[in-house]
Amino acid sequence: VIMLRLSSSLRKRGYMKGKAAVATLMPSELSVMLSRQFGDGTMYNLDEKKTWEEYIANCDGKRALVLFGPEVDISPAGSVGEMKGMDVKSAEKFVMDKLINDKLWEN
């Protein structure tokens, strides 16, 4: 259910097969599926500076799709459980700080 909703929402925003560069801070089954559905099957794990640079270079002419946020348990019925990782604002701050520290973003 989650993948269907997410895929539908991304298609409405212009994401199509092979037209996105997909990256994540926490690789998961969802991020792998999205990289196959909207990218070229390559998924960038953004935990190293080298990977950030490769990702940014690969975004040329493609839509960037970066997955980050809290990790939660989701049951097969769709019930959302407890959050395990950072909240969304903390995850976003982590991403921006990493880009700035690695001199890949100027604020």
Q: The tokens 């953004």 sit on which residue? A: 46
Question: How many other CB atoms are found less than 10 A from the CB of residue 37?
Answer: 19
List, for residues 52-101, the tens digit of each pLDDT value: 788 888 888 888 888 875 555 555 666 666 555 666 677 677 777 877 88
**C-alpha 55: how far from its chain's center?**
11
What pTM was computed for the model? 0.60
DSSP per residue over 65-77, as a string? EEE-S--EEE-TT
Cβ atoms of 30 and 51 within 8 Å: the answer is no
Is the Cβ–Cβ distance between 52 and 102 less than 8 Å?
yes
Distance separating alpha carbons of residues 51 and 69, to the nearest angstrom: 19
Give pLDDT tens digits for 6-51: 888 889 988 888 889 888 877 778 888 888 999 888 888 877 666 7
Judge whether residue 5 has pLDDT over 60: yes
User: In the predicted model, is pLDDT for residue 104 greater than 80?
Assistant: no
- pLDDT for residue 84: 58
103 to 49, 51, 58, 80: CA distances (angstroms): 9, 13, 17, 36
DSSP conformation class of 80:
E
C-alpha span between 12 and 14 (Å, rounded): 6
